[in-house]
A and B are shown apart, each in its own frame.
Chain A
Amino acid sequence: MDNKWVLQIKNVSKEYEGNSVLRGVSLSVKPGEIHALVGENGAGKSTLMNILFGMPVIHETGGFTGEVWLKGKKAEIESPKHAMEAGIGMVHQEFMLLPGFSVAENVKLNREPTKSNWFSKVSGRRLETLDLHKMGADTRRALDRIEMDIDEWLPLVGMPVGHRQFIEIAREIDKMDLSVLVLDEPTAVLTETEASTLLSVLKKLADSGIGVLFISHRLEEVCEIADTVTVLRDGEAIATMPTTETKLETIAEMMVGRKINRPKAAESGRTTDAGNVLEIRDLCVEMPGEYVNGANLTVRRGEILGLGGLAGHGKLGIANGIMGLYPSSGTLICDGEEIPLNNAQAALDAGLVFLSEDRRGVGLLLDESIEDNIALATMISKKKFLKRIGPLPVSILDRKSIREHAVDMISLLEIKCTGPQQSVSRLSGGNQQKVCVAKAITMEPRVLLVSEPTRGIDVGAKERVLSMIRRLNREKGITVVVISSELQELRSMCDRIAIMYKGRICGILDPDAPDAEFGLCMAGEGGSPSV
């Protein structure tokens, strides 16, 4: 019986301020098994993982009830340190890396290899010198294992989210005595190719006897690599079954409790000839890890343009550069007028609105309420949601209209929360993403640049967000540029898809172009280099 399960979660329940978010959840993982955990946004997946990893939020909010067993023994996990010592590795939904440090330092944080020196012989291990050489080599090995060719001594600050994800995984697999690896939406920011690399790494890890527990909203990959899947709905584990005995559609239905219509591809691929709304010439952007080196691109009025490519090839750099968030050079013309670069206000004034991929860094004010997060950006840049104080020539926030607008958005996007005044730090990852989407829509853009719009959003909500973007495009004539690592998502909604390679546009393809053509383009070959 001893080694049958590496991990057992028994009858776990958890409440946050009187809201019960987990109710008697049980789940077991065998050695070498890949166990997927799926569920709607706010179903309690991350909460369960936080319990498993002894995260401080759990204990600060009154702990939980139920038991966690590791390798047949009951475990009391009080802190992440305990969890690590017990052999649990965890990749969080939100990044847990130190931006000021290098990749190697992050991978080896708190577990730095050391050499003994004169001092340490006298006073013990704490004063040993860091073995930088070994640190670098270990990190290199971990990075190689996940097929990532990034310099291990590069600082992390400003690195794109896709890279950070891989570094987090490298950190976990570098731990030698790992017996359970937990990943909270590891593939959300990766392209299909990157994700499949990652999945094959997970397969290898599992074959070496590690139990893998992972959360994903991409049900295709769940069906592809998981052995078992557990569906969580509103805090209850409603089913656990082998993936061989179920279908993607069944899982999706179980998650949301209703039928899901998969987005139709029929509407994509229109040609518009209403002129160009945006012209980008020789754009160079210095966004670390996502450099753009002389990209040329035109966006037609009223179209939905997709921007794809592997992580690190600059697809994120373009939008961040245009919006003045990273130093850039080149020419940007919006509706025939040149817009100065490196000037966020000018871009906003021209009607460009950006939904950032870095939702916690750029997208949200974590300590503020949902309503403020939705309205403040518009208030600041567009002078809306203001009212006069009586006859005085002073305008202050119009709390009432902010509240009403937030309530509308919450019901429109089905944001799961206790009310518009809840702090966004208390929301689940997917619901935070929905707040970001609401914030961008509120700005009433002329051109909407959305970066990873459905990152971490469940199947049901994804359909809602995508159809909403489509509706904004159709009904309000908003031009949309979608930057996504999910090619499938781009193909289902875009009229044209530009693929980036090494900081340039490598080609612009039709959404129905064969897979092989996309593959070639992402590898820097083929495609039509026309703009």
Chain B
Amino acid sequence: MSSSFKQMMDKFGLPRLTIVLFLVALMIVATVNRLPTSMLLSNSLVRIGMNGVMVLAMVPSVQSGAGLNFGLSIGIIAGLIGMLVVMEFNLAGLLGLIVALLIACVLGAAAGYLYGQVLNRVRGQEMMIGTYTGFSIVSGMCMFWLLAPFRNPEMIWVVGGKGLRMTLAVDDSLAKILDNLWRFEILGVEIPVGLLLAFAFACLLLEVFFRSRFGVSMKVAGANPAFATSCGVNVDKMRVLGTVLSTALGAMGMVIYCQSFGYVQLYMAPLMMSFPAVAAVLIGGASARKATVWNAVLGTVLFQTLLTIALPVTRSVIQGDISEVAKTIISNCMILYALTRKEGDG
């Protein structure tokens, strides 16, 4: 009995246990300080649903052996373009969302294919090259945002009449469309059912994929290329497909993020967006060589709850707004910790 409990704890891992205990402590402090806990919980749920798919995007890239996808910004940009097209044509409601997701998926897959080819040439250094590729594409796209043929006056700079604005508000007919779908309230906590269902559906699809013959081949190619080759698996192709899947998921994740956030941020905004996603999956117990859907789900829940709850609580204890700084510090520390620790522990 006690040994099986110990085994369960071992499986869950010390870092995650620490975070859970920390969260519990924070909740207690929050209640004691009379912070609106139900609102904190509602916010956490929204942020989990909003970021979940982007975290999930890390899974195929790690499984196929290409490491953590630090170049996720490529997919994010594809997602932004999907949003922009829908906004340009004033497509509203669920239809708008679906069109945005489709465009994001196609563009993301295409970009992921090219990116995957690049990664196959730089074996063993995927994560470093990915970071730089991501950075340079974000910078390169700044030009595109200025020159892109978008005409909707809501979207372009008022002065000069050309080039997309820095931050675009998503039209009310599209914003929070998933959040509000089947939404209900219980004990003061708002449950964004549609948003969470979308995340759950993505998890389910990916989980099924990784149990199919194709998904298992991809996993095997990542785990031991020589083994995979001897089973007739084309390892290079699997790595490209892993990257395609990851980038397409990143793109669709971004569409979900934007509709929930209510704004589309362009120019340098996507620059660092891959880092919180990487951090989340690592918190969930993944490593650069192994990541599961479960890691992504657990990581998203822990990371986003931590961010949502920790900040108001610290703010109630020490004055001042440290949210952005804290987020950066937490995610970078997590990445450093996870990449330097030895395989297997943690």
Contacts and interface: CB of A to CB of B under 8 A. Distances in A.
- Binding partners A and B: yes
B224 interface: yes
Given A379-B216, A380-B220, A362 B226 contact: yes
Interface stretch (B69-77, B133-141, B230-238, B292-300): B230-238
A365 B231 CA distance: 12
B229 interface: yes
A397 B216 contact: yes
Given A345-B232, A379-B216, A380-B231, A396 B211 contact: yes
Contact of A362 (B3, B208, B227): B227
A394 interface: yes
A380 B212 contact: no
A199 B223 CA distance: 37
Contacts of B220: 365, 376, 380
A474 interface: no
Interface in B219-274: 220, 223-224, 226-227, 229-233
A381 B223 contact: no
B223 A344 contact: no
B318 to A, nearest CB: 40
A390 to B, nearest CB: 12
A476 to B, nearest CB: 22
B308 interface: no
A344 B227 contact: no
B238 to A, nearest CB: 11
Interface residues of B, number: 18
Nearest to B10: A17
A377 interface: yes
A379 B3 CA distance: 35
A354 B232 CA distance: 12
Contacts of B121: none
A514 interface: no
A414 interface: no
Contacts of B223: 365, 367-368
Nearest to B3: A18
Nearest to B223: A365
B224 A366 contact: yes
A348 B232 contact: yes
A391 interface: no
Given A364-B227, A396-B211, A380 B232 contact: yes
Contacts of A366: 224
Interface residues of A, number: 32
A383 interface: yes
A325 interface: yes
Interface string A341-377: 0001101110000101010011111111000000011
A474 to B, nearest CB: 27
A395 interface: yes
Given A361-B226, A363-B227, A365-B223, A380 B213 contact: yes
A400 to B, nearest CB: 13
Nearest to B289: A367
Contacts of B216: 376, 379-380, 397
A302 to B, nearest CB: 25
A251 B233 CA distance: 45
A394 B212 contact: yes
Interface string A317-341: 0000001110000000000000000
A55 interface: no
Contacts of A362: 224, 226-227, 230
A365 B227 contact: yes
Nearest to A380: B231
A254 interface: no
A396 B212 contact: yes
B212 A354 contact: no
B233 A380 contact: yes
A389 interface: yes
Given A365-B223, A367-B223, A376-B220, A356 B213 contact: no
B127 to A, nearest CB: 19
8 smallest beta-carbon distances between A and B, as pairs: A345-B232, A396-B211, A344-B232, A362-B226, A380-B231, A377-B231, A397-B211, A348-B232
Given A324-B232, A348-B231, A397-B212, 20 more contacts: A18-B3, A325-B229, A325-B230, A345-B232, A354-B230, A356-B230, A358-B226, A362-B224, A365-B224, A376-B216, A376-B231, A377-B230, A380-B216, A380-B217, A380-B231, A381-B232, A383-B213, A394-B212, A395-B212, A396-B211
24 contacts: A18-B3, A325-B226, A344-B229, A344-B231, A347-B232, A348-B232, A354-B230, A361-B226, A363-B227, A364-B227, A365-B224, A367-B223, A376-B231, A380-B213, A380-B217, A380-B232, A381-B231, A381-B232, A383-B213, A386-B213, A394-B212, A395-B212, A396-B212, A397-B211
